[in-house]
Amino acid sequence: MAETQPLVRSDIFDKAFGFTKADEVKALGLYPYFKPLEATDGTIVEIEGNEVIMAGSNNYLGLTNDQRTIEAAQAAIVKYGTGCTGSRYLNGTLDIHIELEERLADFMNKESCVLFSTGYQTNEGSIQTIAGRNDVIFSDKDNHACIVVGTQCSVAKTMRYNHNDMDHLRRLLEKADPEAGKIIISDGVFSMSGTLAKIPELVALAKEFGARLYLDDAHAVGVIGGGGRGSASTFGLLEEVDLISGTFSKSFASLGGFLVGQREVIEYIRHHSPAHIFSASMPPANVATVLKAMDIMAEEPWRLTRLHEISTYMRAELRNLGFNVWTSQTPIIPIVIGEMMLCFQFWKDLFEAGVYTNAVIPPAVPQGQSLLRTSYMASHTDEHLDRILEAFRKVGLKHGIIDQNGNSLVS
């Protein structure tokens, strides 16, 4: 009689027990993540007792520490309390939620707007709601994770096209069922590269194939376009985009997200999106902060102008030093370093030189293309910028990323 082999069971936690990379990097003193800020005025932050220039924040207009947004948040807490204790669908709607939705719809030249509790939820919750079983989603391969999750949660078929490759998108559109409902989804500004989507081409393809167009403008609204109206506005095509999402955690100094579009479409999402119906609504302080940030953006257009000037200056100067900044077109400027461990070492040396950046490694970027993601604020001074550049120059020379003649040594 054959001997019975003992049953070997897998432990669902095996993957966690086998994850050692973070501890290995920490042991080398190179771990760049989850660094607690002990104090901040927006541009200068205190980390581990050291004051460093923040060159990795999405606080594009420099409003997170503005006294006016702080006072607006404080006043809202006094009037409404600290939270809403329920979803918008039931007991969690305040009059200022309605005011913000109306103002955003008007600002973006759309009929209607719906708020979500985070920017991530906005895309994840809207995409899975609007794209159904007989529909097809066409999604850029470099889209943000929240878009990817939204497509994965949806019962629609998803076809991913190569990043900003309009020929590939056309082939997929031609291949798709002509009777199916279609929606093209793209970041307006891609969060790692700082580049814009090819919106004129997206608009033209959407029209040709009877598809709807959805842009995630998390890094565009309050950053680029006429009056800060985002990526489509940059091309004068705001009216040609069906749905535009945005977030409040960047230029608007708060937390939450929104989607604007036709009234009927927004009402459908408002009444069917699980992320909207089953999540507690934005707290009063968050809403009041966004309203005040919108006031300031309208009253102080110099902030957008200054942001554009800083972005242009930093892209040019980093290139002059020899760094590869890809094809950035916005305040997001990546600096390609190469291998992951070199990127971590470069990050640490910059930090010790008084500059905080964000280390980005695979799978967020291709293998061998680890980078430092820098982003800039209207509140950065010329002195801040030049100190950042000098730190990059010294560390770049130290690690052989650039040479003294302003040439890149990264393949």
Residues catalogued as catalytic? 191, 219, 250
Cα gap 35→49, rounded to integer Å: 12
Identify the three-state secondary structure at position 238. Answer: helix
Cα gap 272→266, rounded to integer Å: 10
Q: Which long-range contacts (CB under 8 A, 24 or more apart) does 227-235 make?
A: 227/107, 227/297, 227/298, 227/301, 227/304, 228/297, 228/304, 229/107, 229/108, 229/109, 230/108, 230/188, 231/188, 231/189, 231/196, 231/197, 231/199, 232/188, 232/199, 234/196, 234/199, 235/199, 235/200
A 10 A CB-CB count for 334 gives: 27
Following DSSP, what letter does each residue of 186-227 receive, concatenated? EESB-TTT-PBP-HHHHHHHHHHHT-EEEEE-TTTBTTSSGG
Dmax (CA) for the chain in angstroms is 87
Query: Chain centroid to CA 232: how far?
Result: 16
Cα gap 57→42, rounded to integer Å: 8
Cα gap 327→196, rounded to integer Å: 9
Structure tokens at 196: 């814009």
